[in-house]
């Protein structure tokens, strides 16, 4: 059964680097890996997207190994405002030539002073 697996929760302190890994054992060949951030009472917000190797933007980096069966979201020097739930989203093969999007259940990150 295709699924994604993420840690349920993580704790960190301000200024530290946080790495959240998502395992996706059946990712579709041509699909991207996308990460979202969600604050309470808000919709998820796009953070970063990648296909392979490493992608970096102004808020995060995404590391994807060659087999693409996992991905790691890296948040450099977190602050209290990074306390949120982080979701990975991947596409997996579905019936026929279709692909199905699979959301992880989210990792609740708590950043402490």
Partner 1 sequence: NAGVTQTPKFQVLKTGQSMTLQCAQDMNHEYMSWYRQDPGMGLRLIHYSVGAGITDQGEVPNGYNVSRSTTEDFPLRLLSAAPSQTSVYFCASSDGIRDSPYGYTFGSGTRLTVV
Where on the chain is the footprint of partner 1 (CB under 8 A)? 31-32, 34, 36, 41-46, 49, 87, 89, 91, 99, 101, 103-106
Least separation in angstroms between residue 42's CB and partner 1 is 6
User: What gap in Å lies between CA 86 and CA 38, rounded to an integer?
Assistant: 6
Nearer of residues 37 and 70 to partner 1, judged by Cβ: 37
CB atoms within 10 A of CB 19: 12
User: What gap in Å lies between CA 13 and CA 40, rounded to an integer?
Assistant: 20
Nearer of residues 106 and 109 to partner 1, judged by Cβ: 106
User: What gap in Å lies between CA 84 and CA 38, rounded to an integer?
Assistant: 6
Nearer of residues 90 and 111 to partner 1, judged by Cβ: 90
Nearer of residues 13 and 46 to partner 1, judged by Cβ: 46
Least separation in angstroms between residue 31's CB and partner 1 is 6
Least separation in angstroms between residue 1's CB and partner 1 is 13
CA distances 79 to 32, 49, 84, 87, Å, are 28, 22, 11, 18
Structure tokens at 67: 């087999």
């Amino acid at each position: 059964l295709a699924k994604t697996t993420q840690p349920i929760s993580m704790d960190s302190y301000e200024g530290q680097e946080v790495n959240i890994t998502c395992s996706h054992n059946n990712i579709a060949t041509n699909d991207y890996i996308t990460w979202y951030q969600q604050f309470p009472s808000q919709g998820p917000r796009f953070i970063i997207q990648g296909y392979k190797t490493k992608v970096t933007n102004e808020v995060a980096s995404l590391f994807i190994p060659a087999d693409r069966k996992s991905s790691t979201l890296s948040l450099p020097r977190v602050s209290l405002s990074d306390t949120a739930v982080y979701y990975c989203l991947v596409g997996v093969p579905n019936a026929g030539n279709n692909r199905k999007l699979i959301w992880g259940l989210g990792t609740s990150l708590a950043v402490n002073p």
